[in-house]
Amino acid sequence: AQKITQTQPGMFVQEKEAVTLDCTYDTSDPSYGLFWYKQPSSGEMIFLIYQGSYDQQNATEGRYSLNFQKARKSANLVISASQLGDSAMYFCAMDNQGGKLIFGQGTELSVKP
């Protein structure tokens, strides 16, 4: 069965420092996609970054990068130069069944000034 695991319920980071949010996944399908979403306290889910299982390079989007280690089945999100506005819930998700997503439990990130 497909599964996404986020083992960090909460994280703290100092403003301007980098932080890594962990995500491991389990699937037997060779073709899949991995997504990260941000959910501020207001509730909306914001798409951040995507990594395909066949992509040769790690995905990057501005201050966000995805540390994709296929053999270890991990897809950690790295946020560089943290800002106060980065404080939010972060969800890792996997798509390998025609557009359906499976989500992890989420990690609550708090950025300290």
Partner 1 sequence: DVKVTQSSRYLVKRTGEKVFLECVQDMDHENMFWYRQDPGLGLRLIYFSYDVKMKEKGDIPEGYSVSREKKERFSLILESASTNQTSMYLCASSSDGQGVNPQHFGDGTRLSIL
Which residue of 45, 54, 69, 83 would you call a contact of partner 1, by CB under 8 A?
A: 45
Interface stretch with partner 1, choices 1-9, 11-19, 20-28, 70-78 (CB under 8 A)? 1-9
- The CA–CA distances, whole Å, from 77 to 13, 37, 98, 100 equal 14, 10, 24, 21
Q: What is 57-91 written as a DSSP string?
A: S--EETTEEEEEETTTTEEEEEE-S--GGG-EEEE
Neighbours of 63 (CB within 10 A): 14
Does the protein bind partner 1 through residue 99 (CB under 8 A)? Answer: yes
How many residues make contact with partner 1 (CB under 8 A)?
24
Does the protein bind partner 1 through residue 50 (CB under 8 A)? Answer: yes
Task: Report the interface residues with partner 1, using CB under 8 A.
Answer: 4, 6, 9, 33, 35, 37, 42-45, 47, 50, 52, 91, 93, 98-106
